[in-house]
């Protein structure tokens, strides 16, 4: 029996990035494609509760010149994954692939990312995951217009990693692989293991005077202060060396334990 691969994308079920991922791994397993019906960038692992949340539509997406059955879920990427695992899969998926995303997901942005939110949701239900993102300009990342992008390097990397994962070579103690691919990677591809950096990929701009009673979205600008980051970090690899970054992640957010805090005094 072929491995069951759950595929999703926070940019929506009709994202070209999802189609590119499907094309890359179509021969490597049985694909179950379940993604948000609409653009859901930066939703993290949220579970919004709205009137139509959880409604599911059967759709078809085009990839590699073929039509693939898919499901569009009204909700966040994490919700799409939850419905995929609990309602749509006939067995527990062997792997979840989230992406290929418009825009990098690295450093301190991981908890904001819908791409990573979907991967963490799959992990919480016992499914190892791959989150894969392609570097793009910031203004590409929240649109439903889907600008044309070259997905070939990300596809090549994804297919290679999935083959290793299916062969049982998932890194020990990791449950998610976070892959980031440069927009213009060096050739041949430089694929390296990296660490998550303490780096905001984009920074919010302090708003000027405005009417607080009106809706407002904080403006973001690209953070380019990556030259001083550790050379083994995700952001340094992507931005400085134009290398593919693969960062092994886990659900465990526990910090290193310390004995410096005296919890017995004044803590009742």
Q: Where are the domains of the chain?
A: 4-249
Distance CA 30, CA 141 (A): 29
Distance CA 168, CA 9 (A): 24
pLDDT band at 192 (very low <50, low <70, confident <90, very high): very high
Residue 141: its pLDDT value, please?
A: 67
| pLDDT at residue 39 greater than cutoff 90 | no
pLDDT band at 199 (very low <50, low <70, confident <90, very high): confident
Span 123-181, pLDDT tens digits: 999 999 999 999 997 777 677 778 889 999 999 999 999 999 999 999 989 999 999 99
Residue partners of 148: CB distance under 8 A and separation at least 6 = 16
Q: What percent of the chain has pLDDT over 90?
A: 74
Residue 257: its pLDDT value, please?
A: 67
When the candidates are 3.40.1210.10, 3.20.20.20, 3.40.50.10170, 2.30.30.100, the CATH number that belongs to 4-249 is 3.40.1210.10
Residue 29: its pLDDT value, please?
A: 97
Distance CA 28, CA 43 (A): 29
Distance CA 28, CA 105 (A): 25
Global model pTM greater than 0.85: yes
Characterize the bridge pairing of strands 244-249 and 176-181. Answer: antiparallel
pLDDT band at 265 (very low <50, low <70, confident <90, very high): low
Residue 235: its pLDDT value, please?
A: 94
pLDDT band at 258 (very low <50, low <70, confident <90, very high): low
| pLDDT at residue 242 greater than cutoff 70 | yes
CA-based nearest residue to 99, from 185, 6, 220: 6
pLDDT band at 219 (very low <50, low <70, confident <90, very high): confident
Residue 169: its pLDDT value, please?
A: 92
């Amino acid at each position: 029996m072929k491995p069951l691969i759950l595929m999703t994308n926070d940019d929506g079920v009709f994202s070209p990035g999802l189609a590119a991922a499907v094309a890359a791994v179509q021969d490597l397993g049985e694909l179950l494609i379940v993604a948000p019906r609409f653009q859901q960038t930066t939703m993290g692992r949220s579970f919004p509760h709205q009137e139509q949340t959880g409604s599911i539509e059967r759709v078809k997406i085009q990839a590699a010149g073929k039509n693939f059955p898919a499901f569009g879920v009204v909700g966040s990427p994490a919700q799409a994954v939850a419905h995929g695992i609990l309602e749509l899969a006939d067995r527990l998926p062997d792997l979840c692939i989230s992406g290929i995303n418009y825009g990098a997901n690295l450093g301190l942005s991981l908890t904001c990312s819908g791409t990573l939110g979907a991967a963490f949701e799959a992990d919480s239900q016992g499914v190892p995951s791959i989150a894969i993102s392609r570097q793009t300009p910031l203004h590409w990342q929240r649109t439903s217009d889907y600008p044309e992008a070259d997905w070939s390097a990300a596809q090549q990397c994804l297919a290679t990693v999935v083959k290793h994962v299916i062969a049982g070579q998932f890194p020990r103690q990791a449950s998610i692989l976070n892959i980031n691919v440069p927009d213009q990677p060096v050739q041949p591809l430089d694929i390296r293991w990296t660490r998550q950096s303490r780096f905001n990929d984009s920074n919010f701009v302090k708003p000027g005077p405005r009417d607080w009673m009106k809706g407002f979205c904080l403006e973001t600008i690209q953070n380019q202060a990556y030259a001083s980051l550790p050379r083994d970090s995700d952001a340094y690899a992507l931005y400085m060396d134009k290398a593919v970054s693969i960062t092994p992640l886990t659900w465990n957010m526990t910090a290193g334990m310390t004995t410096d805090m005296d919890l017995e005094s004044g803590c009742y």
